[in-house]
C-alpha cells in the first residue's frame, strides 16, 4: 500500500515539474523577415497563398514552420536564434529552383531576400476611370521561355486584399490579344456594389499553366468620385 502511495506521489510530483517547465517556456524573441524578389524587386502574390517552409535540424521534435507571404511579397516569422533551412515551395508563380533550400542564420532581427524567377511579370500597369468603366493598361513579360499563359485578369475590390480569391469584379483577358512585351488593355464595368463607393482597389494578375498561383501587380487605389 505504501509503495502504491509513493508511486502516485512520484507521478504527481513529475506532473508538477513538467507543468512548471511549460509555464517557464519562453516565447521566441527573434524575427526573420524578408521579401520574395525578382531582380531585387518584391513580387506581388495572393495574401496567404504561396508559402515558405522553415526547418531546424538537431531537435527531437523536428517539424516544419509554415511561413506565408503578405500580398506585397513580404513575410515575417518569430523564431529562436539558430540555423534554419528556408525552403521555397512549389505551386507558386515562379520557377522551381535547382535547389529550393536557403540556409539562414537567425540572430536577433534578421532580414533576408528570397530570390525567385517568375514565369511571367506585369509592368507599366496603369488604371483609368471613365464613367463606370475602369481601363487597365499593362505589359505582360515572359521570363521563363517555356512557360505558357494560363490566365491574365483584372481584379477590382472593396478591400486592399484583392486577388483571385477576394474581389468584387474579375475580368479575364482574351489571351489571343496578349502579346508579350506590348501593351495589353482590359476594361472592367463597375457593378452596382462598387460604382457608388468613393474608391476601389485594382490589380492585375497573370498565371502560368504550370502553377495554380498568380503573379500580381501592386494594389492601386482608384478614386471613383
Domain of 151: which CATH number? 2.60.40.2060
pLDDT for res 210: 93
Binned at pLDDT 50, 70 and 90, residue 89 comes out as confident
Confidence of residue 84 (pLDDT cuts 50, 70, 90): very high
Rounded average pLDDT over 194-221: 96
Q: What is the pLDDT of residue 2?
A: 38
Return the higher-pLDDT residue of 137 and 28.
Answer: 137
pLDDT at 59 over 80: no
The arithmetic mean of pLDDT across residues 127-152, rounded, is: 97
Between 22 and 73, the more confident residue is: 73
**DSSP β-bridge partners for residue 114:** 36
The structural domain count of the chain equals: 2
Q: What is the pLDDT of residue 13?
A: 39
The three-state (H, E, C) secondary structure of the chain, written as one string: CHHHHHHHHHHHHHHHHHHHHHHCCCCCCEEEEEEEEECCEECECCCCCCEEEEECCCCCCCCCEEEECCCCCEEEEEECCEEEEEEECCCCCECCCCCCEEEEEECCEEEEEEECCECEEEEEEEEEEECCEEEEEEEEEECCCCCCEEEEEEEEECCCCCCCCCCCEEEECCHHHCCCCCEEEEEEECCHHHHCCCEEEEEEEEEECCCCCEEECCCEEEECC
Examine the domain organization and report whether 176 and 83 are in the same domain.
no
The pLDDT of residue 113 is: 95
- Beta bridge partners, 104, equal 84
- Is 161 within 8 Å of 71 (Cβ atoms)? yes
What is the band of 85 on the pLDDT scale with cuts at 50, 70, 90?
very high
pLDDT at 5 (0 to 100):
37
Boundary-marking domain end, from 115, 138, 172 = 115
Four-residue CA torsion sign, 33, 99, 49, 27: negative
CA-nearest of 67, 75, 178, 195 to 129 is 195
**Cα distance between residue 56 and residue 52, in whole Å:** 14
The domain boundary, picked from 92, 115, 138, lies at 115
- Enclosing domain of residue 177: 120-223
Q: Cα–Cα distances in Å, from 105 out to 28, 101, 125, 156, 161? A: 15, 13, 37, 40, 32
pLDDT tens-digit profile of 11-53?
Answer: 433 444 444 444 445 788 899 999 999 999 999 999 999 999 9
Residue 37 in domain: yes
What average pLDDT does the structure give for the chain? 87
Band (58; pLDDT cuts 50, 70, 90): low
Residue 11 in grid coordinates: 507521478
In tens, the pLDDT along 151-187 reads 999 999 999 999 999 999 999 999 999 999 999 999 9
105 and 137 inside one domain: no
CATH number of domain containing 93: 2.60.40.1120
Q: Which of 13-17, 91-95, 96-100 has the lowest average pLDDT?
A: 13-17
**Res. 97: pLDDT tops 90:** no
Amino acid at each position: 500500500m505504501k509503495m502504491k502511495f509513493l508511486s502516485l506521489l512520484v507521478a504527481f510530483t513529475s506532473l508538477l515539474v513538467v507543468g512548471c517547465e511549460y509555464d517557464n517556456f519562453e516565447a521566441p524573441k527573434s524575427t526573420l523577415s524578408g521579401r520574395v524578389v525578382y531582380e531585387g524587386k518584391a513580387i506581388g502574390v495572393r495574401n496567404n497563398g504561396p508559402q515558405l517552409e522553415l526547418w531546424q535540424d538537431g531537435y527531437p521534435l523536428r517539424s516544419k514552420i509554415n511561413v506565408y507571404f503578405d500580398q506585397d511579397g513580404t513575410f515575417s516569422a518569430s523564431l529562436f536564434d539558430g540555423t534554419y533551412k528556408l525552403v521555397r515551395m512549389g505551386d507558386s508563380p515562379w520557377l522551381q529552383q535547382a535547389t529550393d533550400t536557403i540556409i539562414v542564420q537567425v540572430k536577433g532581427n534578421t532580414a533576408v531576400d528570397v530570390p525567385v524567377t517568375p514565369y511571367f511579370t506585369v509592368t507599366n500597369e496603369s488604371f483609368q476611370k471613365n464613367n463606370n468603366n475602369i481601363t487597365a493598361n499593362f505589359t505582360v513579360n515572359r521570363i521563363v521561355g517555356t512557360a505558357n499563359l494560363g490566365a491574365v485578369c483584372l481584379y477590382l475590390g472593396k478591400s486592399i486584399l484583392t486577388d483571385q480569391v477576394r474581389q468584387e469584379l474579375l475580368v479575364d483577358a482574351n489571351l489571343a490579344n496578349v502579346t508579350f512585351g506590348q501593351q495589353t488593355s482590359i476594361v472592367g464595368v463597375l457593378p452596382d456594389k462598387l460604382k457608388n463607393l468613393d474608391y476601389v482597389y485594382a490589380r492585375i494578375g497573370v498565371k502560368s499553366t504550370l502553377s495554380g498561383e498568380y503573379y500580381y501587380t501592386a494594389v492601386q487605389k482608384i478614386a471613383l468620385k
